[in-house]
């Protein structure tokens, strides 16, 4: 049994889950924040910001990977700074895979959260303000409880997307077995090496995980809001 769970396939699955969990967490925080900002605040360039933030969803993953290398690579703007001040190198680490997956999955949370926040009646927020509750209190007590289904729906899609991330991850994290080789990359390597058995197992695992997440997404977001 012990050796079974040390199979490369399971190691890749564990890594994929770890990367996807962290990436989803980052995407959730950033996506909720920006989603609220775009839904509620009026400022110049709002729709342009929305478009910029949605870009990772439509851009080729390789282009995204290139941008990330420019940013967090050894010579990159942020990368050089991290290296110089903290001795941290992100390239070819699992943390780089997290960043790549988070950037790709972030627009899914953003879109779901913005749409959900826009359905919340602003009068309810105003009523809470007049009752003396601080802006962050209003967000936690009124806006979020009325919008959480939309936010959660986007988050689960983001998780599924993180699990499947391939292109950008390969460019910034590489394919080091047991270290940065996630499920989707392991499939590619197995097929390239002609290891059909491994490829089959990996494909089945990936499919099961994705179906499970999607079923969970549908189960957790039925339309039983107590409103109206």
The residues binding another protein (CB under 8 A) are: 121, 123-124, 126-134, 136-137, 140-142, 145-146, 226-228
Compare residues 37 and 128 and give the one whose CB is closer to another protein: 128
Give min distance, CB of 41 to another protein, in A.
14
Give min distance, CB of 136 to another protein, in A.
7
Compare residues 108 and 147 and give the one whose CB is closer to another protein: 147
With helix as H, strand as E and coil as C, how does the chain read? CHHHHCCHHHHHHHHHHHHHHHHHHHHHHHHHHHHHHHHHCCCCCHHHHHHHHHHHHHCCHHHHHHHHHHHHCCCCHHHHHHHHHHCCCCCCCHHHHHHHHHHHHHHHHHHHHHHHHHCCCHHHHHHHHHCCCCHHHHHHHHHHHHHHHHHHHHHHHHHHHHHHCCHHHHHHHCCCCCCCCCHHHHHHHHHHCCCHHHHHHHHHHHHHHHHHHHHHHHHHCCCCCCCC
Compare residues 123 and 192 and give the one whose CB is closer to another protein: 123
Give min distance, CB of 25 to another protein, in A.
20
Compare residues 97 and 151 and give the one whose CB is closer to another protein: 151
Give min distance, CB of 145 to another protein, in A.
5
């Amino acid at each position: 049994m012990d050796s079974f769970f040390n199979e490369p396939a399971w190691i890749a699955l564990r890594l994929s889950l770890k990367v996807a969990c962290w990436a989803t967490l980052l995407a959730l925080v950033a996506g909720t924040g920006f989603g609220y900002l775009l839904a509620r605040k009026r400022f110049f360039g709002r729709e342009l910001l929305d478009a910029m933030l949605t870009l990772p969803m439509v851009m080729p993953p390789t282009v995204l990977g290139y941008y990330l290398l420019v940013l967090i690579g050894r010579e990159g703007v942020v990368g050089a700074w991290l290296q110089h001040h903290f001795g941290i190198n992100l390239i070819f680490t699992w943390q780089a895979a997290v960043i790549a997956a988070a950037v790709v999955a972030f627009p899914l949370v953003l879109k779901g959260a913005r749409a959900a926040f826009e359905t919340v009646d602003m009068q309810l927020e105003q009523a809470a303000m007049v009752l003396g509750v601080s802006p962050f209190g209003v967000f936690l007590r009124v806006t979020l409880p009325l919008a959480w289904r939309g936010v959660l729906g986007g988050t689960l899609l983001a998780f599924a997307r993180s699990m499947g991330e391939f292109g950008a991850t390969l460019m910034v994290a590489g394919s080091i077995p047991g270290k940065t080789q996630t499920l989707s990359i392991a499939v590619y390597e197995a097929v390239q090496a002609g290891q059909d058995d491994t490829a089959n197992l990996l494909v089945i695992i990936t499919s099961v995980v994705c179906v499970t997440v999607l079923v969970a997404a549908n189960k957790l977001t039925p339309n039983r809001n107590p409103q109206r």
